[in-house]
Amino acid sequence: MWAQAQPNIALVKYWGKSNIARNLPAVGSLSITLDGLYSRMSVEILDDPGADSLTVNGDENTELLARVSGCIDLITGNERGAARVRSETNFPVAAGLASSASAFAALVTATYECVGKTADTLTKARIAGSVSGSAARSLYGGFVELSAGVEDIDVWPIADAQDWPLKVVVAVTEPEPKPVSSGEAMIRGAETSPFYDSWVERQPEDLTAARTAVENRDFEQLAAVSEHNCLKMHTVMWTSRPPIVYWNSATLACMEAVRELQKKSEPVFFTIDAGPQLKAVCLPSAEETVRDTLAGIDGVVEIHSSGLGLGARVLEGS
């Protein structure tokens, strides 16, 4: 039995933790769940105790194993048999493409199914989010908002994928895993960036602007607030000590290309996460032009095009 979840791309970003031990985000966020990329997880719990194992696309993976085991424990308790976890993805892992989001959303869904327990989606989202903050949003499809409470997070869908079928073109400029994990980078930013406090303080106004833009299907407003929020997050990263710069020259070339398309009135904007890949969000009418333009840039090694999709689910009959 397999469960599947898709990555989500935040337009208003999660960056910073209010409680590191519980992995509670310091700010709310708003995202879109993709449909073209996926993580699939299969969990089997043996009768006998022993070491858990994890394979990703057929290869043994020890790096993610501790987080995977810990996540399963949150659902089953730790007095359990050894878990055999298999993961399949159709995109690069740990390269700023939200692979942990789809992986942990799928893992929580697969584990509940494996042990025959039920829970509502918010409960599952909270468990996934306690392992990787952005994973909470991949439990839901379409447009998703997450609010950072003091005790726990709340997550809910604000519009379905088909309500506003945006497209996302992902330009991969470096498929290798990133040097600093987002969790580590955001802790460093909170401790050392002089701009961190104002980042947190100003987040509610960006969330309101983005939510209103989604409600009104106002692409221009969504573009403006998303690019602004992304660049503010990267400002916190750049001004951390030591600094964290995830971009490379191809990332910048992609940004410039998006700016050129905007000058020609193409409905497109960019966002960039903790990695050098650029995500161009556009209306369907611009998808082909955006794709062709980004594919032609030196240093772009892969292009993925995607619509918006569903939340995490069990793949029936798998």
Which residues of the chain form contacts with ligand DP6 (CB under 6 A)? 10, 13-15, 23, 29, 98, 100, 132-134, 182-183, 273-274
Q: State the minimum distance, in angstroms, from the CB of residue 170 to ligand DP6.
A: 13
Residue nearest to ligand DP6 (CB): 183
**Strands 302-306 and 2-5, sheet pairing:** unpaired
CB closer to ligand DP6, 29 vs 173: 29
Q: State the minimum distance, in angstroms, from the CB of residue 13 to ligand DP6.
A: 4
Cα torsion through 282, 37, 108, 206, rounded to 10 = -20
Closest CA to 14 of 28, 24, 3, 2: 28
CB closer to ligand DP6, 161 vs 261: 161
CB closer to ligand DP6, 36 vs 189: 189
Closest CA to 178 of 104, 85, 251: 251
Q: State the minimum distance, in angstroms, from the CB of residue 162 to ligand DP6.
A: 23
Alpha carbon distance 174, 96 (integer Å): 9
DSSP assignment letter at 300: -
Tokens of residue 301, six digits:
């090694």
Q: State the minimum distance, in angstroms, from the CB of residue 288 to ligand DP6.
A: 27
Alpha carbon distance 85, 93 (integer Å): 16
| DSSP conformation letters of 204-270 | HHHHHHHHHHHHTT-HHHHHHHHHHHHHHHHHHHHTSSS------HHHHHHHHHHHHHHHTT--EEE
Q: State the minimum distance, in angstroms, from the CB of residue 252 to ligand DP6.
A: 18
Q: State the minimum distance, in angstroms, from the CB of residue 274 to ligand DP6.
A: 4
Alpha carbon distance 134, 108 (integer Å): 13
CB closer to ligand DP6, 42 vs 100: 100
CB closer to ligand DP6, 3 vs 97: 97
Sign of CA dihedral 231, 237, 238, 244: negative
CB closer to ligand DP6, 81 vs 183: 183
CB closer to ligand DP6, 29 vs 305: 29
